[in-house]
């Protein structure tokens, strides 16, 4: 369906969910992969792929180590951006806004829903820090597996983030480079204004 204003929903989250589900149905390799872009205190940009973990109260959720590069950037500068790209449906979504940490209880619930191996890896890895070798990490995971035969404790420096969008842009590939771009901008009253952008 062409991205036409008269056919687009008034709420961008509705359109995002529609496109996300289309990508899943179309067999996108990993539809939950998104680029997270941050900038530290010196405004140096940094981008990496992270996993999208849902939408809560209109905010996009992801999880990470608080002491990682992204975590340190977000302490210095809470502004961040996300990009989703699903080549199979020829759609891109850009999201820009402000990030906050989610509650410890919510982080704990998600942590314990993860596979045991992922829990152990999160506990063993001080993300973004230099390590001597992969063997060092593998040994740390094995040691923690023996130390915690039942429940794995959540790392003190690990948890969830929520990005509240200031704007969301939807891009749809069209013939002859005449692509469709529709941006939703959040107004002070909490409602959204949509506007067409030149491709």
pLDDT digits (tens, 9 = 90+) for 42-58: 999 999 999 999 999 99
Report the predicted TM-score, pTM, of the whole model to 2 decimal places.
0.93
| pLDDT single digits (tens) 10-36 | 999 999 999 999 999 999 999 999 999
Does residue 94 contact residue 171 with C-beta atoms inside 8 Å?
Answer: yes
* Integer Cα distance of 37 and 178 in angstroms: 27
Nearest residue to 92 (alpha-carbon basis) of 81, 102, 100, 84: 84
Which residue do the tokens 């010196």 mark? 42
For 93-146, what is each residue's pLDDT tens digit?
999 999 999 999 999 999 999 999 999 999 998 877 888 899 999 999 999 999
Q: pLDDT averaged over the chain?
A: 94
> What is the architecture, at CATH level 2, of domain 5-114+156-196?
Roll (2.30)
Pairing of strands 33-39, 55-56: unpaired
Give residue-wise pLDDT tens across range 79-89.
Answer: 999 999 999 99
Instruction: Quote the CA–CA distance of 61 and 118 in Å, as a whole number.
Output: 18
Task: Report domain extents, the chain.
Answer: 5-114+156-196
Integer CA distances (angstroms), 69 to 49, 110, 143, in order: 13, 22, 26
pLDDT for res 1: 57
The span from the CA of 72 to the CA of 66, in Å, is: 7
What is the per-residue pLDDT across 146-199, written as a single tens digit (0 to 9) for each? 999 999 999 999 999 999 999 999 999 988 888 999 999 999 988 999 999 999
**CB-based contacts of 127-135 (< 8 A; 24+ apart in sequence):** 127/64, 127/65, 127/67, 127/68, 127/71, 128/65, 128/67, 128/68, 128/69, 129/67
């Amino acid at each position: 369906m062409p991205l036409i204003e008269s056919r687009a929903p008034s709420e961008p989250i509705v359109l995002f969910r529609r496109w996300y589900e289309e990508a899943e149905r179309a067999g996108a390799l990993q539809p939950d992969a998104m680029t997270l872009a941050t900038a530290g205190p010196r405004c140096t940009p940094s981008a990496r792929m992270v996993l999208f973990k849902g939408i809560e109260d209109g905010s996009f959720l992801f999880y990470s180590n608080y002491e990682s590069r992204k975590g340190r950037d977000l302490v210095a500068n809470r502004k961040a951006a996300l990009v989703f790209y699903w080549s199979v449906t020829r759609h891109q979504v850009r999201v820009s806004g402000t990030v906050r940490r989610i509650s410890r209880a919510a982080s704990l619930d998600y942590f314990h829903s993860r596979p045991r191996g992922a829990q152990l890896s999160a506990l063993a890895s001080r993300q973004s820090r230099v390590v001597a070798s992969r063997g060092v990490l593998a040994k740390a995971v094995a040691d923690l597996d023996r130390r915690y035969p039942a429940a794995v404790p959540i790392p003190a420096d690990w948890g969830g983030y929520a990005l509240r969008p200031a704007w969301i842009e939807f891009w749809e590939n069209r013939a002859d480079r005449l692509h469709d771009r529709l941006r939703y901008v959040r107004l002070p009253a909490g409602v959204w204004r949509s506007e067409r952008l030149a491709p």
